[in-house]
Amino acid sequence: MRLGPLSIGILFGLNLLLSVSAAAFYVHVIAPQFEHPKKPEPSAVHPPLSSHSPIPPASPPGLSPQPPSNQAQLLPGSLADIVAQVLPSVVNIRSAYAPQNPFGSPYDLPYSTPFGRRGPALPESLGSGVIISEDGLVVTNHHVIHGARRIRVSLSDGREIPARIIGSDEDTDMALLRLEGTNLQLKAIPFGDSSQLRQGDIVLAIGNPFGVGQTVTMGIVSAVGRANIGITDLEDFIQTDAAINPGNSGGALVSTKGELVGINTAILSRTGGNHGIGFAIPSNMVAPIVRSLLEKGKVIRGWLGVSIQDLNADLAMALHLPQGQQGVLVNGVEPDSPAARAGLKAGDVIEQVDGERLQSSSQLRAVIASRGAGTQVKIVYVRGKERREIEVRLAERPQLGPGPWPWGGALRRYWGARQAPLNLGPGVEVGGLVVHELNESIRSLVGLPPSMKGVFVSEVIPGSPASASGIEAGDVIIEAGREPVENPRELLERYARKPPEGLSLLVRRNTGTFYTLLR
């Protein structure tokens, strides 16, 4: 059928009308809607503030307070009230000092000149600190103020106040300052219980990164009880992915309750910038150090009197501990020590100290040392299948004497044998160990007390099961399968009926002991 010119014109007009209508509908539905802010009604109600919220400031004359927008009300989990609560307690620290480390610290931020960064002799560095008392006590890191000739602290309200060092502790990288002056009107941050932190808890890191001013970053607790990092001698760090950068050192790690749970200390970075791995000293470690520095000007370390080692799954199975047992293995107890008086024994596994779960022997050493002498601690430990709880009053850590020979036991034994020829007697091979019954000649060489039983190791055969045990010639095996061993025949019999995971051995080396497996 052919259409005339009039019909074609009508159809074209209808088609155009439908196309325009469809386009208008598409634009109306898809395009975003923009509205000007509306003036709030007099009856508008502000959202309630938490109990920690600051009082909102009065509005300037002639202006009505603006309520949060609908978008802001829909944002879940705002931490603005917490931040406003704790910011006045976090300060910036500027130290003028003669640098002790020619390479500087990854946390010390040197000032720059218009011509670029200064040379290695940097007269000033920036760090952060936390006000912990209204009369002017400030906690920071040892490396922030180490060697400082002059320290000035900048508060969140813009005031700058000189400070002096009360005490400092390099082993934990902690320092305590006091602001000079009276009627300072400071706000102290409350301490939280860092032992209650769990992986995944939200935390805030507050400090002065790169000298730009107070900055808040948010992250989670990545791990607790981190040790063997190589940052300090005594390590029990909280690991977090909250962004921490140079200048944050000494700043606050804060919980969502607005409580101090850690002091930011270090980052794991190849470039000096944030890679999401930061470390903070837990508040439960900070508090006793502060008390000791305040009272004595130095830290008096706590001492339990145990020798310890990490516990792995194979060793736990060989010691007949509950499946999945975690904690720190006690492999020796000093006579007349707090641990001995409390009844701890070799083979016990310490799970908790004051509610803090233990992951490593380094963590336990740091926790006990930081608690201080005279402090009573609650210890949860496992003996066999039984879980027990005791309270122990820590003693002062004794001064350490000379350590083991730096070249290992082999050289010491060689010189000992030259001075006094060693009478070993007949030897027995057990799993690649050549062992001998103890006699006076051996006891004199290795310094064993007359009452201690065991067998002497004269040789470890390469490639044998014993070569993977960590035992060396000159060691003394004093237990096998959690029972004392008195002669090579007993050791051979127990090895012949060892469990699949191996035979647990308690070994004495020099003046210390450790557990191992002979497979």
Catalytic residue list:
143, 173, 249
Pairing of strands 215-226, 202-207: antiparallel
d(CA 135, CA 133): 5
The pair of structure tokens assigned to 423 is: 């009478």
**Contacting residues for 188 by C-beta, under 8 A, at least 6 apart:** 89, 131, 132, 133, 134, 137
d(CA 252, CA 183): 24
Pairing of strands 512-518, 202-207: unpaired
DSSP string, 329-347: EEEEE-TTSHHHHHT--TT
d(CA 456, CA 471): 11
C-alpha dihedral sign at 259, 263, 266, 272: positive
d(CA 204, CA 184): 26
DSSP string, 403-471: -S-TT-HHHHHHHHHHHS-------EEETTEEEEE--HHHHHHHT--TT---EEEEEE-TTSGGGGTT-
- In angstroms, how far is CA 190 from the centroid of its own chain? 20
C-alpha dihedral sign at 440, 445, 451, 456: negative
For residue 230, the cross-strand partners are none
Please list, residue by residue across 167-206, b when 16 or more beta carbons sit within 10 angstroms of its beta carbon and e when fewer do.
bbbebbbbbbbebeeeeeebebbeebbbbebeeebebbbb
d(CA 329, CA 326): 9
Q: By the 8 A CB rule, do 436 and 455 touch? A: yes
d(CA 46, CA 66): 9
Q: By the 8 A CB rule, do 208 and 127 touch? A: yes
Q: Is 213 exposed, middle or buried (0-12, 13-18, 19+ CB in 10 A)?
A: exposed
